[in-house]
Structure 1
Amino acid sequence: MTDTKNSAPAEALDNIILLSADSLRFDRIGATRNGEPLTPRIDELAENSLEFQPGVAPGPSTRDTIPSMLTGKYPSEFDEYGLPAPGSEPLTIAEELSNRGFATAALSHNNFTSRRYNIDRGFDFFDDVSPEARKENNRGAWRLYVRNLIEDTPLMNLAGQANNLAMEYLGRSLYLRNEAAENITDRALEWMDGTNDKRFLWVHYMDTHHPYLSPKRIQKKFGRTYSKKHIKQLSQKTRSAQEQITDEDIPEMEYVYDCTVRYVDEQIGRIIDKLREDGELEHSMIVVTGDHGEGFGEFGKFGHADELWDTMIAVPLIVHHPDRPSTNVNGQAPLRLLRETIVDGSGLFDITEKGADYVYTEVPNYRDDIQGVRGQEYKLIARNDDQITTRLANVEEEIPIEEVPDMEYEQLEKELTRDFEPIQVAADVDQREFREDLAALGYLEE
């Protein structure tokens, strides 16, 4: 009989479920709005789980976190965004579990989680935004065809201008085509119904990513509803007209964002209910997390910028294991340890007492060159020759370096120093394809 208390989840359990939400801030878990909880289903799961305060993403964007989360490597351990060829080192969580007899599936409609970047390594079923998946599921393949026809022609510039006008006056985008959480959960549940083997399921929800769309029934829970047009117009300001954001806009942005948090929470609850109804919950590990945070004007930043403030890197990290400790850890934990936790049974399970003393974060050197170390009380950020120190309290605040105790500052500097020998990724993505992915996510100005 397998010792489930001490064995790795990969050996002891029948189901490993990874549920991540794009741009999900740590401070939204357990929060309320107008007396209504934002995350009642996640809160319920957390009561019988290992929960860190907070989880720390390896960087401030999807491109930083996803390869790191799946392989346990730092973002700068790859020479560009993406993963090496399938089967090569480092193996992903999906490859490790597939080798152990798990059926594997992933569903995500973030363009930077697509098979174009080899994120599909190890997955039997991979539902992404690639042309192949769109044709298989009849999801807007015609848009890709039209885009390919006009790319690198004057018509593409006109299309970009038309998209900005459509967002400003109509609240509609020619590019953004992410499916709602309800639809992606439906397909995840359908896959679970058709699979009798041990299962690894990863669902990455995009609803908490701008433009923060949620059903009216969710918005009504908090007392106010907004049209899609208004919500998308708010979102467009954060992409291309931040100087136009008013003091009145920010509370509305946070409101519609919070509604998406509740919407994703509801869909996560459906997957938990499925496991419970099938009698599988007691044989399942469930991880709930985010890939990075989101800014609402803190430090002058909106959305997810290339910065290492906690608003950008502090995420939920909840690990439910039927036979491991259930505790609220008053300490941080790097999301990078997830692969080690699942495959080896160590990682996060080794820091359940007080979390990690220090967590390294970065904007990788192939994109910028920013490093940060988050301690238990202070953070050190280095950008080129400049250093910034902050105090980690209820609200992170920048402080003079002299206010950091000498021994703590020395340790932070020591932890900041990293030498990477980057692995060459196999993804062959040209600048046109990369621009398409940025445009599809609403970053038309980059």
Structure 2
Amino acid sequence: MEDIVFVTADSVRYDYMDAMEYLSSFDVQEGMAAAHYTRPSLASIHSSTFKSVLTGRVENPTLAEQLSAAGYTCLGLSPNPNTDATFGFGDGFDRYDSFLDPGNRGSGLRQYLARFNTLRKIYYKFYPPHAKSEDRPRDREVVEQAIEWFNEAESPRFLWIHLMETHRPYGAGDDAVSKELDQKAFFKPNKLTDSEKDEIEGKYRDSLARADENVQHLLENIDSDPALVFTADHGEGFDDEGYYFHQPQLRRVDDCLVKVPVIFDGLPVDEGPLSLLDLAPTITASAGGEVPDSWLGNNLLETDTDYTITVAPWHDQATVLWQDFEHRLVSHDADVIFESAGSRTDVSEDEDVPEDLKEQMRDLGYVK
């Protein structure tokens, strides 16, 4: 059986792939995310179900569980609090690391301030996404750990790695957008000068180029010639629709946020529109694993995707986008219920998530 490397990168727009020279040398397809920000999107990728979109949790059976049952050693690395094992992301992996430091997750004051919409501006002014980005490992460090794990593991191997530096503020230190410019773009995008807009997009493109180099470094240093799958959890806004960044509280489903690149190298997938829900069935089938009946995505080795659905949840409501690539139907800020096998799931809040983990997510901009 063939080794599989699955790379996801945060906030990569389909129409910015020209900044990723190495990955652009592969056939790049257009994929539609099932959600508009990291946790529900990645959870739905690993579970191939809208239940994960609404709950923000990886539902069983998972991609790693199915590949493990097929005989794969499964390795996962993702330096993002949204992908902590608390949300099921570690299920099925033989080794999993989300790189969280429980002793450095923030204060009760910040948790309190983040609860109120009217205080969001104050919160971001004093605690922007830069607050903890320098406490997390750089993507190259994560890639080096992935190489070590992969080369030590028994074949066949499945590696999932999520690259984080393409997320706002697009790196750390001098690589990142400054705190002042970040605040201006977030709260007063109409006040940005042309040079400031260029600076933000330039920092973003630089982060994509670094991610591209990291993927190349990964593939050149593992002891295998694996099948490669690459995609992003969602895109990013650059004043396309009047806002910057992805701001999940807006519940937007614009193309800049939900249209992402997808690469299948070593998997015989025909070119065509697809949903990111299709990734788990396609990867599992290519590995000879069993595709669960509960998964909603298509096995693209056998079936084309005729339409996609994107759900943008934020607390108790969601925006829903249905499209068949000629027509779009959007319902804004709706009450959404997913029914399957006699069970009902609606958009839920994380009442049982530890407060220190919530704080990590708030540091990235995921505040109520």
What range describes the TM-score normalised by the shorter chain of this pair? 0.7 to 0.9
Q: Distance in 2 between matches of 1:365 and 1:174?
A: 23
CA deviation after TM superposition for structure 1 residue 336, in Å = 0.4
Q: Distance in 1 between matches of 2:269 and 2:123?
A: 52
Partner of 1:406 in structure 2?
none
Match of 1:202 among 160, 168, 173: 160
Partner of 2:132 in structure 1?
175
Q: Give runs of aligned pairs for residues 213-228 of structure 1, distance below 5 A.
A: 213=171, 227-228=174-175
Partner of 1:265 in structure 2?
212
> Does residue 325 of structure 1 match 2:271?
no
Secondary structure of 1:319's counterpart equals strand
Cα pair 1:374 1:380 within 8 Å, conserved: yes
Distance change (3 Å), C-alpha of 1:209 and 1:229? closer
Partner of 1:97 in structure 2?
67
Q: Distance in 1 between matches of 2:37 and 2:53?
A: 15
- Normalising by structure 1, we get a TM-score of 0.68
Distance change (3 Å), C-alpha of 1:297 and 1:23? same
CA deviation after TM superposition for structure 1 residue 241, in Å = 4.7
Q: Give runs of aligned pairs for residues 9-408 of structure 1, distance below 5 A.
A: 12-13=1-2, 15-29=3-17, 31=18, 38-44=19-25, 46-47=26-27, 51-52=28-29, 54-74=30-50, 76=51, 80-84=55-59, 90-130=60-100, 134=101, 142-144=103-105, 147=106, 164-165=125-126, 173-176=130-133, 177-213=135-171, 227-228=174-175, 231-242=178-189, 244-275=191-222, 278=223, 280-281=224-225, 284-305=226-247, 306-321=251-266, 324-325=267-268, 329=271, 331-345=272-286, 347-351=299-303, 356-364=305-313, 367-383=316-332
Secondary structure of 1:174's counterpart equals helix
Secondary structure of 2:201's counterpart equals helix
**Matching residue's letter, 2:301:** F
Q: Distance in 1 between matches of 2:87 and 2:242?
A: 32
Identity of aligned residues (%): 24
Cα pair 1:214 1:263 within 8 Å, conserved: no
1:196-230 deviation per Cα after TM superposition (whole angstroms, max 9, x unaligned)? 33211111001110001279xxxxxxxxxxx3575
C-alpha RMSD of matched pairs (Å): 3.4
1:75-120 deviation per Cα after TM superposition (whole angstroms, max 9, x unaligned)? x466522135xxxxx3111111122222111111121111121211
Secondary structure of 2:140's counterpart equals helix
Distance change (3 Å), C-alpha of 1:301 and 1:230? closer
Distance change (3 Å), C-alpha of 1:214 and 1:319? farther
CA deviation after TM superposition for structure 1 residue 249, in Å = 2.0
Structure 1, unaligned stretches of length 5 or more? 1-11, 32-37, 85-89, 135-140, 216-226, 386-415
Partner of 1:439 in structure 2?
362
1:309-333 deviation per Cα after TM superposition (whole angstroms, max 9, x unaligned)? 1101000111111xx4376x2x310
Secondary structure of 1:370's counterpart equals strand
**Matching residue's letter, 1:381:** V
Q: Distance in 2 between matches of 1:338 and 1:174?
A: 33
Number of residue equivalences:
345
Cα pair 1:116 1:429 within 8 Å, conserved: no
> Does residue 429 of structure 1 match 2:352?
yes
CA deviation after TM superposition for structure 1 residue 238, in Å = 3.7
Cα pair 1:107 1:127 within 8 Å, conserved: yes
Secondary structure of 1:63's counterpart equals helix
CA deviation after TM superposition for structure 1 residue 382, in Å = 1.4
Larger Rg: 1
Secondary structure of 2:91's counterpart equals coil
Distance change (3 Å), C-alpha of 1:153 and 1:94? closer
**Matching residue's letter, 2:72:** F
Q: Distance in 1 between matches of 2:170 and 2:281?
A: 32
CA deviation after TM superposition for structure 1 residue 240, in Å = 4.6
Farther-moved stretch of structure 1 (312-321 vs 429-438) = 429-438
Distance change (3 Å), C-alpha of 1:229 and 1:362? closer
Cα pair 2:189 2:242 within 8 Å, conserved: no
